[in-house]
Structure 1
Amino acid sequence: MTHFVLVHGGWHGVWCWREQIIALERLGHTATAVELPSDDPGAGAQKYADVIASAVREPGTDVVVGHSLAGLAIPLVPDLVPIGALVFLASLLPDPGRSWREQLAAGRPMADWFYANALPRQEKDDLGRSVWPPEVAAELFYHDCPQETARSAAARLRPQSPGPIGETTPLKAFPDVPRHYVGCRDDRAVSGSWAQEAARTRLGVEVTWIDGSHSPFLAAPQQLAGRLVAFIP
């Protein structure tokens, strides 16, 4: 039995992993979902990593899974506590010496759909945190989920502070632990071609592809559970 530490991406919370935890338990494993301080304007990737590390139950064996924006934080965790493996799920990847904002300016790490249909409709609150209108979030993150699931998830999103995006990553080098990247073939957020190249050059791995949207933990938790279990060291 392996314990999985599940880390949500931007705007989300522990609620998004409920069905994924059930799916992993059906396969004989356990999981904990981590609540990141995503709406805290003062929190950056190192603070996120501190929170993630505190959720590790079995140092040296737990598998840490980071979705989307959490990819900027999970490679910092092995410096805080030993883990069994890192899994980057439809994930952003840090580039030592640069911020994610600089990566955005230098290339197109996000999917074409994101630039054309989502980013122009993103909003900011009075603290400079990004927010999504529910109808945009439903199309961006959950387009292959049942309508009620998509609507419910979109309504639960919270503001995302710019800390992990604007800061130069505190990561100096990717940790020497087993690393995996899971990409989603119909992702409207992260570019598949960018993910494939970044996974090769930064993680030294090929992408493991699954069907579906940016949010397989809601659209296809059983499929994702099977992939995650295959990564157990």
Structure 2
Amino acid sequence: MEHVVLVPGFWHGTWCWSHVTLELARRRIAAVAVDLPGQGLRGTSPAAQRVRPFDAAEFATERSEVASVDATSAAEALIAQLEHIGSDRPHVVVAHSMGGVAATLAAEMAPSLISHLVYISALAPVSGQPAAALVAHPANAGELGTELLRADPFAIGASRIDTADAASRERIREALYADVPVEVADAATSMLNADAPVGMAAEAIAVTRERFGSIPRTYVLCTEDRMLMPALQREIVRDVDTRSVEPTRVVELHSSHSPFLSQPQRVADIIHAAARPLDSAMASDGPAVTSGP
């Protein structure tokens, strides 16, 4: 068994994988979640969020402390964590949402450290475009993520959300946690960082078939997602496959954007299949997959 390394997406931290790591432990899979710069315990929120009375104008204009983080620095941090964890075998890297940007670039920079990439409704720019261009793709029409932002991301250096305002919390639940039990969604919303480094989405990324493209991949396509619409997820898979030796294995889940909270057992099953040797996985009764979008 390879070690499994779990990478959160924007605003989230290692805590979001707690249900999945428990399920992986039941399957005797060693797994660890890591925070990238600007995430979880390495994240930050603006001072204006804590000031009372609350000043919405100050909240919308305060420069973020994560403004210096870009895709390269996030990928370098992930590589350093993979090296710190160590192993005599490469790791299965599981990335959610914007975490896919760092995982994609890390796979290009240090392919020997990664045995399998598992994307969970993740962004994976590979053709010289930034992740922000994928978010703005026509296939993502109807997404709810843009409505969450309470400031101009490129003015303050962060994608900033308000987790205290009641109306904002409801929008967050609809965008991120639509099929998550309400009490869990409410607790998760309270733990989100207000700021996520928009530099990760702004940096153009290109990968090669020889490095990134040599690593096997699974893409978990969330069919009820309103952050990254299913049509965009399929476009991402098609684009990734143009830079790859073998096609991506696609698993469709009837899920919103956060299946690690709504369907942790299914997510663990999918990761389990990726972590096992190929002959064992092919002989198993694990989750059904299809090759390509």
Which moved further from structure 2: 57-66 or 216-225?
A: 57-66
Aligned pairs, how many?
A: 229
Which moved further from structure 2: 123-132 or 156-165?
A: 123-132
Could you tell me which residue of structure 2 aligns to residue 190 of structure 1?
A: 228
Could you tell me which residue of structure 1 aligns to residue 191 of structure 2?
A: 156
Q: Which amino acid aligns with 1:112?
A: G
Distance in 2 (alpha carbons) for counterparts of 1:59 and 1:202: 28
Q: Which amino acid aligns with 1:94?
A: P
CA offset at residue 217 of structure 1? 0.9
CA offset at residue 13 of structure 1? 0.7
CA displacement, residues 106-126 of structure 1 (integer Å, 9 cap, x when unaligned): x23536242xxx423421288
Distance in 2 (alpha carbons) for counterparts of 1:130 and 1:138: 17
Distance in 1 (alpha carbons) for counterparts of 2:117 and 2:260: 17
Distance in 2 (alpha carbons) for counterparts of 1:121 and 1:216: 20
Cα 1:201–1:163 change in 2 (3 A) is: closer
Q: Is the CA contact 2:105–2:205 (under 8 Å) kept in the aligned structure 1?
A: no
Q: Which amino acid aligns with 2:77?
A: V
Distance in 2 (alpha carbons) for counterparts of 1:119 and 1:221: 26
Is residue 74 of structure 1 aligned with residue 103 of structure 2? yes
1:209 to 235, 249, 252: 252
CA displacement, residues 167-218 of structure 1 (integer Å, 9 cap, x when unaligned): 2226455341111111112111112122123213323325211121111111
Q: Which amino acid aligns with 1:96?
A: S
TM-score normalised by length of structure 1: 0.89
CA offset at residue 11 of structure 1? 0.9
Q: Is the CA contact 1:135–1:154 (under 8 Å) kept in the aligned structure 2?
A: no
Cα 1:179–1:206 change in 2 (3 A) is: closer
Q: Is the CA contact 1:5–1:55 (under 8 Å) kept in the aligned structure 2?
A: no
Cα 1:162–1:13 change in 2 (3 A) is: same
Q: Which amino acid aligns with 1:37?
A: P
Q: Percent identity?
A: 32
Could you tell me which residue of structure 1 aligns to residue 146 of structure 2?
A: 119
Q: Is the CA contact 2:125–2:236 (under 8 Å) kept in the aligned structure 1?
A: no
Specify every segment of 5 or more residues in structure 1 that has no aligned partner in the other structure, as ranges: none
SS at match of 1:32: strand
CA displacement, residues 57-79 of structure 1 (integer Å, 9 cap, x when unaligned): 32543100110001111122233
Distance in 1 (alpha carbons) for counterparts of 2:19 and 2:90: 23
SS at match of 1:11: coil
2:123 to 92, 117, 123: 92
Q: Is the CA contact 1:34–1:51 (under 8 Å) kept in the aligned structure 2?
A: no
Is residue 52 of structure 1 aligned with residue 81 of structure 2? no
Could you tell me which residue of structure 1 aligns to residue 69 of structure 2?
A: 43
CA offset at residue 152 of structure 1? 0.9
TM-score normalised by length of structure 2: 0.72
Could you tell me which residue of structure 2 aligns to residue 131 of structure 1?
A: 160
CA displacement, residues 49-108 of structure 1 (integer Å, 9 cap, x when unaligned): 122223323254310011000111112223335221111110111133222233344x23
SS at match of 1:42: coil
Q: Which amino acid aligns with 2:150?
A: E
Could you tell me which residue of structure 2 aligns to residue 110 of structure 1?
A: 140
Could you tell me which residue of structure 1 aligns to residue 177 of structure 2?
A: 142
SS at match of 2:196: coil
Cα 1:185–1:111 change in 2 (3 A) is: farther
Cα 1:121–1:196 change in 2 (3 A) is: closer
Distance in 1 (alpha carbons) for counterparts of 2:17 and 2:114: 20
Q: Which amino acid aligns with 1:180?
A: T
